């Protein structure tokens, strides 16, 4: 492969067709939109301005982020709010050449404040349907349980979702990881799988590799969200490679939440070179300094990824998605074509 010139990486990342599989819709709430919603809903924020809020985006760990994230989510009240939030994200993704997204939402964050589950679901679903019709971007919703709350509450959340289960593709597990092992949710995940939902779970972000094993063995997850701490257990790395368990890695998030000291210290390249099915994602882009393309570009720079790595990462996003096999095959071929077209634009003498 030709030597990678740094200045063509942003153009390559833009040209590649991409999927995003680890994205919390509440984490796309930009300060400007948060203030607009606070105003129209009559909700008071303790920050005086957009700038003051942004200045608070300096986190020590996952918990310090979650405290602010849940606080700001309190501006989300109506179906329209959830629609507008998702519509803004999907518009950005279409502009970045993202073709498929799988979106986490945390019903408990909202129902605990008196917001109806249907308002959340209907707002998000409407935005997804509009984006597919207008921009051809497909999307799925992943109902995520808050692991720092009880298993009983998670079960009640699942039961409340049963009448509209056709709108949900999967269940997930997020929020404060340490001290909240996957096994706590074994019964609710068993019920969700019995209802036909796929299971995924955050594991090995701040929590130990044992939580990754537990998510696989007790929750029967189809992929692991984050999973970067697997490296501490070589046998687990071997298992993830052999079983090709997808890891939805979020590089900028990991640096902002101090899982790694810097992007240059991130283990994404090592995991990729070890043969794991690694994908790049943004997690909570409004809080962590960049959406999907920025995660690709900054990770490439910090870890000196090859162009071939970027193509592999883009393809892994579709391979690891919940799309049916035929749709995956179409997207995978389209990524290869996009790269070929990109090479021609960079070198007009190259034969297509
Ligand atoms: N909720 C939103 N972002 C999260 C993350 N990175 N880890 C766990 N829970 C989350
Ligand atoms: Zn996450």
For 264-287, the pLDDT digits (tens) are 999 999 999 999 999 999 999 999
Looking at ligand 1, which residue's alpha carbon is closest to its atom 9? 175
> 38-45 — which CB contacts under 8 Å span 24+ positions?
38/75, 41/75, 41/77, 41/78, 41/81, 43/74, 43/75, 43/77, 45/72, 45/75
CATH topology of domain 6-346: TIM Barrel (3.20.20)
Instruction: Note the ligand closest to the C-alpha atom of 29.
Output: 1
| pLDDT tens digits along 164-217 | 999 999 999 999 999 999 999 999 999 999 999 999 999 999 999 999 999 999
| pLDDT tens digits along 117-175 | 999 999 999 999 999 999 999 999 999 999 999 999 999 999 999 999 999 999 999 99
- Contact at 8 Å (CB) between 224 and 248? yes
Please tell me which residue in 26, 96, 177, 205 is annotated as part of the active site: 205
Nearest alpha carbon to residue 232 among 263, 205, 201, 272: 205
pLDDT of residue 221: 99
- As a whole number of angstroms, the distance between CA 263 and CA 176 comes to 22
Looking at ligand 1, which residue's alpha carbon is closest to its atom 10? 175
Does residue 206 line the site of ligand 1, with CB under 6 A? no
Distance 212 CA to ligand 2 centre (A): 14
pLDDT of residue 6: 53
Nearest alpha carbon to residue 188 among 154, 163, 214, 211: 154
Q: Does residue 348 have a pLDDT over 80?
A: no
Half-sphere exposure of 100 (CA within 13 A, CB side): 22
Query: pLDDT band at residue 3, thresholds of 50, 70 and 90?
Result: low
- Contact at 8 Å (CB) between 55 and 198? no
Does residue 310 line the site of ligand 1, with CB under 6 A? no
- As a whole number of angstroms, the distance between CA 244 and CA 215 comes to 15
Does residue 298 line the site of ligand 1, with CB under 6 A? no
Q: Which spans in the chain are helix H? A: 9-15, 31-41, 50-55, 62-72, 79-95, 107-111, 117-135, 151-161, 186-194, 209-218, 234-243, 251-256, 268-273, 285-288, 292-303, 307-319, 325-346
Give the single-character DSSP code of 5: P
Provide the token pair at 173. 């597990």
Query: pLDDT band at residue 21, thresholds of 50, 70 and 90?
Result: very high
Does residue 139 line the site of ligand 1, with CB under 6 A? no
Give the single-character DSSP code of 140: E
Q: Is 205 annotated as catalytic? A: yes
Looking at ligand 1, which residue's alpha carbon is closest to its atom 4? 175
Say what the pTM is.
Answer: 0.97
- Look-up of token digits 């279409």: 94
Distances (CA, A) of 147 to 155, 179, 238, 249: 12, 9, 27, 19
Mutate to test the pocket of ligand 1, among 71, 144, 146, 174 (most ligand atoms within 8 A of CB): 174
Ligand 1 atom with the smallest distance to the CA of 253 is 6
Provide the token pair at 91. 């518009």
């Amino acid at each position: 492969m030709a030597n990678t010139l740094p200045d063509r990486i942003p153009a390559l990342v833009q040209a590649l067709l991409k999927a995003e599989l680890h994205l919390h819709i509440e984490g796309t709430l930009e300060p400007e939109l948060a203030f607009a919603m606070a105003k129209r809903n009559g909700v008071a924020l303790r920050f005086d301005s957009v700038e003051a809020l942004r200045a608070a985006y300096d986190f020590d760990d996952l918990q310090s982020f979650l405290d602010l994230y849940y606080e700001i989510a309190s501006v989300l009240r109506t179906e329209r709010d959830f629609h507008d939030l998702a519509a803004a994200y999907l518009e950005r993704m279409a502009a970045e050449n993202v073709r498929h997204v799988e979106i986490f939402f945390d019903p408990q964050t909202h129902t605990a404040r008196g917001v109806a589950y249907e308002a959340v679901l209907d707002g998000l679903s409407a935005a997804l349907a509009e984006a597919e019709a207008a921009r051809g971007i497909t999307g799925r919703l992943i109902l995520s349980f808050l692991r720092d709350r009880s298993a009983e509450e998670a079960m009640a959340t699942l039961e409340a979702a049963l009448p509209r289960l056709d709108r949900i593709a999967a269940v997930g597990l997020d929020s404060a990881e340490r001290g909240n092992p996957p096994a706590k949710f074994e019964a609710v995940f068993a019920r969700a799988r019995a209802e036909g939902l796929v299971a995924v779970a955050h594991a090995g972000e701040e929590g130990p590799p044992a939580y990754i094993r537990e998510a696989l063995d007790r929750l029967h997850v189809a992929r692991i969200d984050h999973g970067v701490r697997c490296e501490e257990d070589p046998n687990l790395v071997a298992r993830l490679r052999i079983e090709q368990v997808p890891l939805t890695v979020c590089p900028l998030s990991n640096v902002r939440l101090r899982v790694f000291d810097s992007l240059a210290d991130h283990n994404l390249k090592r995991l990729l070179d070890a043969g794991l099915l690694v994908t790049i994602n943004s997690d909570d882009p409004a809080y962590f300094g960049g959406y999907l393309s920025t995660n690709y570009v900054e990770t490439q720079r910090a870890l000196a990824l090859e162009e071939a790595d970027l193509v592999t990462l883009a393809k892994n996003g579709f391979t690891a998605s919940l799309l049916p096999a035929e749709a995956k095959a179409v997207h995978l071929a389209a990524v290869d074509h996009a790269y070929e077209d990109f090479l021609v634009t960079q070198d007009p003498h190259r034969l297509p």
